């Protein structure tokens, strides 16, 4: 199955439940975070770790999204630094699926029970029924694990999807000390474009709102990013979305040929 066939355009902001349900077991705290109002395809955070992994800050794919309200054929995808891994719901459980077919053969993802993903990273969740609430579950982390975004080429950005940890609360993306040419893309249902995204670019020591008046673009992970045309930059206004809530993710484009570490505040 081609990757494009299981990605659809992200078209709205994800609304997170006002409060996560928490349970306490000895010295461990577990939480279930409801997420509603998400589009059919959405960037979701990995806000919790797996049982016993609060220090390491990772969680297995089988545990990070509860199967409640998910349907056969719903998919979850994660970029492992080299390629996309993907799984789908089948009979109430996650099973591996093929992500590409070439002359050399079919690439199938490893079992969901064998893949642990670091908190602070993010995944794509694709659902048949976006009106259903889904749930993120796991152990509350003892530390706020930072996340490293991939290096760019020096002339073109490399994009990494990032998720906000639960303990952080709302995170202001404009507090990231970026480098010239870095880009942040946020989903916002009020944005006046088809993909409902807002794009900010770091320049001259601060973040500016970026707009395009014309030109073509490329699609990365379901989001169309213009690659040519007339560009304009303006100061961020009071009404521009800047924060990401627990359970949500955003896309960070790194232009410099060095990685960038995002430390949650």
CA distance 140 to 28: 8
Residues 90, 156: one domain? no
Number of residues in the chain = 265
pLDDT value of position 260: 93
Q: At which of 115, 139, 163 does a domain end?
A: 139
CA distance 36 to 250: 17
CB-hemisphere CA count at 13 Å for 151?
6
Residues 127, 159: one domain? no
Q: At which of 118, 139, 160 does a domain end?
A: 139
Q: How confident is the model at residue 16 (pLDDT cuts 50, 70, 90)?
A: very low
Residue pointed to by tokens 């505040």: 265
Determine the structural domain holding residue 198 and report its residue range: 147-262
Buried b (16+ CB within 10 A) or exposed e, 130-163: beeebbbbbbbbeebbebebebbeeeebbbbbbb
Asked if the model's pLDDT at residue 18 lies above 50, the reply is: no
Residues 46, 95: one domain? yes
Q: Return the DSSP state at 131.
A: T
pLDDT value of position 202: 94
**How do residues 68-88 score in pLDDT, each as one tens digit?**
999 999 999 888 777 888 999
CA–centroid distance for 30 within its chain: 22
Query: How many domains is the chain partitioned into structurally?
Result: 2
Mean pLDDT of the chain: 75
Residues 127, 213: one domain? no
Residues 108, 230: one domain? no
User: C-alpha angle 182/187/190, rounded to 5°?
Assistant: 125
**With helix as H, strand as E and coil as C, how does 175-239 read?**
HCCCCCCCEEEEECCCCCCCCCEEEEEEECCEEEEEEECCCCEEEECCEEEECCCCEEEEECCCC
Q: How confident is the model at residue 52 (pLDDT cuts 50, 70, 90)?
A: low
CA distance 161 to 219: 14
pTM: 0.69
**How do residues 207-218 score in pLDDT, each as one tens digit?**
998 876 555 565
């Amino acid at each position: 199955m081609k990757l494009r066939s299981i990605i659809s355009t992200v078209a709205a902001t994800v609304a997170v439940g006002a409060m996560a349900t928490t349970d306490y077991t000895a010295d461990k705290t577990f939480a279930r975070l409801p997420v509603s109002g998400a589009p059919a395809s959405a960037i979701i955070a990995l806000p919790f770790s797996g049982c016993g992994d609060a220090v390491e800050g990772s969680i297995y794919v089988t545990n990070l999204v509860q199967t409640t309200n998910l349907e056969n054929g719903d998919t979850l995808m994660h970029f492992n630094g080299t390629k996309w891994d993907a799984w789908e719901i089948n009979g109430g459980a996650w099973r591996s699926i093929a992500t590409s077919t070439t002359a050399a053969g079919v690439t199938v993802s490893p079992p969901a029970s064998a893949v642990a993903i670091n908190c602070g990273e993010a995944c794509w969740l694709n659902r048949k029924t976006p009106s259903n609430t889904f749930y993120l579950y796991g152990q509350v982390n003892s530390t706020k694990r930072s996340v490293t975004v991939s290096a760019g080429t020096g002339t073109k950005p490399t994009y990494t999807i990032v998720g906000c940890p639960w303990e952080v609360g709302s995170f202001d993306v404009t507090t990231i000390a970026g480098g010239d040419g870095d880009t942040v893309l946020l989903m916002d249902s009020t944005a006046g474009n088809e993909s409902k995204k807002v794009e900010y670019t770091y320049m001259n020591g601060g973040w500016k709102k970026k707009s395009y008046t014309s030109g073509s673009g490329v699609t990365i992970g379901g989001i169309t990013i213009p690659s040519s045309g007339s560009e304009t930059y303006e100061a961020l206004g009071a009404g521009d979305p800047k924060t990401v809530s627990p359970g949500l993710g955003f896309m960070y484009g790194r232009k410099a040929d060095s990685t960038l570490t995002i430390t949650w505040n």
